[in-house]
Every structure is written in C-alpha cells, then in structure tokens.
C-alpha cells in the first residue's frame, strides 16, 4: 500500500511522569514527503492511515534508518542519530492538514512554520491551544507544572539551581530552529511557530508570535502579533504594534505590505498595502475616522480606515493643530473616489 502524506517528522521530546507529551523537537521535518519514504517506514511503525503520532524505540529507529538508506540518506542519518536517544522518540505522520489532535502534531506544525516550509495562514492550526500543555521552560528543559516544585527541591539538594525562564504553552523558537540569514537580539521574544524570513533583524524590543512573521528582509523593533505577516523591505519602529487575530482583530487578517514603515509607538488594526507609512505614535484601527487628502492636500472625504485597507502608497498622520487623523496619497481626487467606490 502506498501512502501520500501532508507532513512527516521524526522527533525526540519530553514527557511528564505520567507519560504525557510536554514538547517535541523535530530536527528535519518534512512537507509532502515522498511516497517511497512513507512506504519504507509505515510497516515498521505499524502505520496504516490518518494523522497519528506513534512512539518508537531505538531498535525501531535503527530498522527505519536501514530501510531508508537507499531512499533518503538525510532521514536515514537522522534516525541513526535518534537511535542514540535516552529520551522518548515519536514519529508524527499527517495524512492531511486537519485540526490538531495531539501535542506531537501541534509541535510538528509549529516546526513547519519556523523551518519556513509553510508561511503563516498556510496551515490548519485549529485546536492548537488545547494540544499545547502549559509548561515550565527551565535550565533543565521542559517540566510539567505539577512536577516543578519537586524538581526544584531535587536540584537544590544536589547543590544546583533550576532556573525557570518562562511558564507558557509556547517555547522560544531558537531552542528548536535558527533560520538562516537572520539576526535576533533577544531570542526569548520569538515563539516557536514564528516565520522569520531571510534578511530579517529582530531587535531587543521586537516580538514575533506563532503563525506570524516576516518575508524578509526587514527590521522589527515592534510587535508582530499572531496571524500578522510583514512583507519584504518593511520596518516596524520601536514599540509599535500590529493587532493580531487573537487581540481584537477578529477575522480580519492583518498584514503589512512591502516597503512599509510603521513608526515608533504607532500601531495598525487594518491591513496595509505596499509602501504605506504610519506616523510615529498614531494607532490606526478599522473604525478610525480618517480625512482622506489628495495630492494637493485637498479633502476628498472622511472615511473609516477599513476602507483604505490594502491600498498602496498611503501616508497616515495626525494633524498637529486639529488632532484629526489624515491620510495623504499621490492620487488625484478623481482617482481616489474611483478607488473607494471600487473598494466598496
């Protein structure tokens, strides 16, 4: 029987003392693996169909490594290394991109994003939160919250300090993957599941959530919230904010086009088209009333910001005398009216 899979990952992870998965590390996750790979390992794992996370022993790891030698040398080498493991091993096979039903599945999809195999909004992440346990991320790795106090005491009795870096569902991305061609000033501010494109610099105050990120190149000194994707050549100034789908943005997908600048302490609650600029300190939400000015600085009409969503070559600013939010464009009044009517 031949199988075609959406994704496959051989992982090594951490379980709590009851055997429940806390986290999984996939060194080389695969998107759309070849039928030959799946055919070679399926009988060894006892896989038949569907989305499954199957634990396996070091003995089975060696058997799969041997079966893959003439099929995929890279995955064969990985399985040979996994056979050295003293911690639990799991093979996660996803026949299709369905809602998540296990912790290893959730971790595989987060890896696909951070390995740049899939862009934000390219995966079905339904059910991700229930499948990610809240974990203490420590100097000794992932620890179940209910076991933390005992582990802290054990460490002290050995004369050691068990340091707790965070208590969260998501670990930091760089403990699992460091994408090529990026600079990250504070690794704790990027969650696993972030997509960080080549040429991206994330400074100390920058933050990138899961299922969000940057096409690259670009400079991130503000917050890229869940679901937000920043186009190439765009800069997010210090302390600026993008409203994610988890923070009141609802079903509107907030994205930032190419060549945009969001000034320091500014923010957006609408998608920006290419070459947009938002003045420092100005937060533009979907319902913000905006005075639309043409190339001669003449008022065309007052609109809600959502009507300007995705339009290119706009400058959002606040009038320093009246306090009104204004939007300047290179277009004439006639072109603007036509564009607005077409948008409606």
Catalytic residue IDs: 221
- Nearest CA to 83 among 91, 93, 92, 94? 91
Strand extents, DSSP E, 221-338? 223-224, 229-230, 234-236, 241-242, 255-256, 261-262, 267-268, 277-278, 283-284, 289-293, 299-304, 314-318, 325-329
264 is in an annotated binding site: yes
Q: How far, in whole angstroms, is CA 321 from its chain's centroid?
A: 41
Q: How far apart are CA 266 and CA 252, in angstroms?
A: 19
Mapped onto helix, strand or coil, the DSSP state of residue 207 is strand
Q: How far apart are CA 319 and CA 334, in angstroms?
A: 23
Query: Residue 84 carries which DSSP code?
Result: T
320 is in an annotated binding site: yes
Contact 133, 46 (CB under 8 A): no
Take residue 251 and report the two structure tokens written for it.
């079903």
225 is in an annotated binding site: no
304 is in an annotated binding site: yes
223 is in an annotated binding site: yes
241 is in an annotated binding site: yes
287 is in an annotated binding site: yes
Mapped onto helix, strand or coil, the DSSP state of residue 244 is coil
279 is in an annotated binding site: yes
Annotated binding site: 205, 223, 238, 241, 264, 279-280, 287, 304, 317-320
Annotated binding site for Mg(2+): 205
Annotated binding site for succinyl-CoA: 223, 238, 241, 264, 279-280, 287, 304, 317-320
């Amino acid at each position: 029987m031949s199988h075609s899979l959406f994704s496959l990952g051989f992982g090594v992870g951490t379980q709590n003392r009851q055997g429940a998965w806390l986290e999984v590390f996939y060194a080389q996750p695969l998107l759309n693996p070849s039928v030959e790979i799946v055919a070679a390992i399926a009988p060894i794992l006892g896989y038949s169909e569907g989305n499954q996370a199957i634990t396996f022993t070091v003995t089975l790891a060696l058997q799969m490594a041997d079966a893959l030698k003439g099929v995929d040398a890279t995955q064969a080498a990985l399985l040979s290394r996994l056979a050295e493991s003293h911690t639990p091993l799991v093979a996660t096979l996803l026949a299709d991109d369905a809602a998540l039903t296990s912790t290893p599945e959730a971790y595989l999809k987060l890896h696909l994003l951070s390995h740049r195999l899939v862009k934000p909004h390219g995966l079905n992440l339904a059910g991700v939160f229930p499948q990610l346990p809240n974990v203490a991320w420590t100097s000794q790795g992932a620890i179940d919250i209910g076991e933390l106090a005992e582990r802290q005491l054990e460490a002290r009795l050995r004369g050691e300090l068990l340091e707790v870096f965070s208590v969260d569902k998501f670990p930091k991305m760089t403990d699992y993957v460091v994408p090529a061609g990026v600079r990250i000033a504070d690794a704790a501010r990027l969650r696993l599941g972030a997509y960080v494109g080549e040429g991206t610099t994330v400074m100390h105050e920058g933050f990138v959530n899961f299922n969000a990120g940057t096409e690259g190149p670009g400079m991130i000194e503000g917050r890229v919230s869940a679901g937000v994707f920043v186009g190439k050549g765009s800069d997010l100034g210090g302390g600026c904010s993008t409203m994610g789908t988890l923070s009141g943005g609802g079903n509107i997908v907030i994205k930032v086009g190419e060549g945009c600048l969001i000034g320091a302490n500014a923010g957006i609650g609408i998608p920006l088209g290419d070459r947009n600029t938002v003045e420092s300190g100005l937060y533009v939400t979907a319902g913000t009333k905006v005075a639309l000015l043409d190339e001669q600085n003449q008022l065309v009409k007052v609109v809600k910001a959502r009507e300007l969503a995705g339009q290119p070559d706009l400058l959002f600013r606040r009038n320093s005398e009246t306090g009104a939010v204004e939007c300047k464009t290179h277009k004439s009044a006639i072109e603007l009216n036509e564009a607005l009517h077409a948008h409606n």
